[in-house]
Amino acid sequence: MTKKTTDNQTSTMWGGRFSSGPASIMEEINASIHIDKRLAAQDITASKAHCDMLVRTGIISETDGIAIVRGLDAVAREIAEGRFEFSTALEDIHMNVESRLAEIVGEAAGRLHTARSRNDQVATDFKLWVRDAVGELDSQIQALQGALIDQAETHAGSVMPGFTHLQTAQPVTLGHHLLAYVEMLGRDRSRFADCAARLNQCPLGAAALAGTSFPIDREMTAASLGFDAPCANSMDAVSDRDFALEYLSAGSILSVHLSRLAEEIVLWCSDGFAFLRLSDAFSTGSSIMPQKRNPDAAELVRAKAGRVIGDLNALLITIKGLPMTYAKDMQEDKETVFDAADTLTLCLAAMTGMIAQGTFDADRMRELTGRGFATATDLADWLVRVLGMPFREAHHVTGRIVKRAETGECGLEDLSIEEMREEEPRISEDVFDVLGIDNSVKSRASLGGTAPDNVRRAVAAARKRFLEPAG
């Protein structure tokens, strides 16, 4: 284990102005190591890039540079193996790493901080972390898309009620319904990709706020860390966290999409619908009612959307009143992002499991599709197409026929031709061709429509767009 740090070391980190360490409560409120230790890998990576640049520009010696990199590698191993002792007295990950580096390599460690500040250091580390997090989330969203696409392919022709206002509207297929979420998730991936592209400018070298008088090579460090370019303005580089806000914004929209799907899962698992049975792995029971199978995972995904949205609101409120450039308020930026990332990771894993392992009851969905006069629009369309009736008139005629069926407690297809002709004498027997559920969905063959053949083509296209490697 590493040595414990004293208050004296803390004051030397700050420089010579302070003659004693902080009060215990000041130490507690000022420290962020319990949160930002998650930046350890990024901090060490960025420090190695900075060190290499300092050597190549002649700002520090090659001997010191070799010692620093060797020491940083040793610190990284200690952290990876769980042997590193994080100290609250050292405030944050940057000082914890630097202090341990000094214990390992001695005086050379003090040269690492030349031409940089913790301000540009943390901005760089945080951007690297968010960039990594975007990549991890993208893989998880893609996995959920894959589960939805698989179920959509299986149920390309499985008829279910389509709803507006949660009232039966028109017949659709389950495959079509699930592919709607695939499209939403595709846009979520695009938003995260945009976030990663916009954040990909390197703050390192901006120093505290004004840049540095040392002859550094910011293009070199930016390229070494995989950034497209250095940040153009040193004050902007250290003072804005719009990349974190954008990550949280994209995460909030993703959480809303997950919540909507979770709500549908809750409905579909209810006795009133009974469209879906979750696997035992994603169901829970009741402590008192032995018959219960509760969709708790879906309910928790639905609830956790509020948490992610709250993280976005918290950081927006933290940042909104800050003048240029850095203020300690910005120490609060990472906890919200880390929390949102952890929450989204958990929700995506749970949702993927529920969809992949769930069993849909096609017979039950077909049974409920036959209720609620779901083919009424097909009848109105037939009146327009075959009889040349203006749609508004067709709408009224169809409404009267629906009312007749409702009074007779039967479906539209169960009315006799004579009963229909009492509302519109020109109706022919051909009208029954459009009143069947299967005929209805087959007829919706317009681009983006629910016809089973459309769905099968859309499944193939979605696999290519979202699951296959680009290029």
Contact 115, 212 (CB under 8 A): yes
Q: HSE-up of 211 (CA within 13 Å, CB side)? A: 11
Q: Which two tokens stand for residue 306?
A: 């509020």
Q: What is the C-alpha separation between 73 and 97, in angstroms, rounded? A: 11
Please identify which residue in the block is written with the tokens 């993927």: 352
Q: What is the DSSP string of 281-319?
A: GG-B--SS-TT--B-HHHHHHHHHHHHHHHHHHHHHHHH
Output the CA–CA distances (angstroms, integers) from residue 160 to 101, 149, 276, 447, in the order listed. Answer: 63, 17, 12, 20
20 given a catalytic annotation: no
Of the candidates 19, 165, 416, 446, the residue annotated as catalytic is 165
Phi and psi torsions of 170, nearest 5°: -145, 155
Classify residue 289 as exposed, middle or buried by CB count within 10 Å of its CB (0-12, 13-18, 19+): exposed
Q: What is the full DSSP assignment across 366-410? A: HHHHTSS-TTHHHHHHHHHHHH---HHHHHHHHHHHHHHHHHTTS
C-alpha 466: how far from chain center:
15
Give Cα separations from 388 to 78, 394, 430 (angstroms): 80, 9, 15
Count of alpha carbons within 13 Å of 462, Cβ hemisphere only? 31
**Cβ atoms of residues 124 and 46 within 8 Å:** yes
Strand segments, DSSP code E, in 20-166 are 159-164
Residue 165 bears catalytic tag: yes
As given in the structure block, the two tokens for residue 44 are 């060490």
Place of tokens 């460090």: 221
- Rounded-to-integer distance, Cα 175 and Cα 355, Å: 12
Which residues fall within 8 angstroms of residue 45, CB to CB, at 6 or more apart?
128, 225
- Report d(CA 118, CA 124) in Å as an integer: 10
* 230: enclosing H helix or E strand: strand 229-230
How far apart, in Å, do the first and last CA atoms of the chain sit? 48
Instruction: Tell me the three state secondary structure of residue 279.
Output: coil
Burial of 275 (0-12, 13-18, 19+ CB in 10 A): buried
Residues acting as catalytic residues: 165, 286
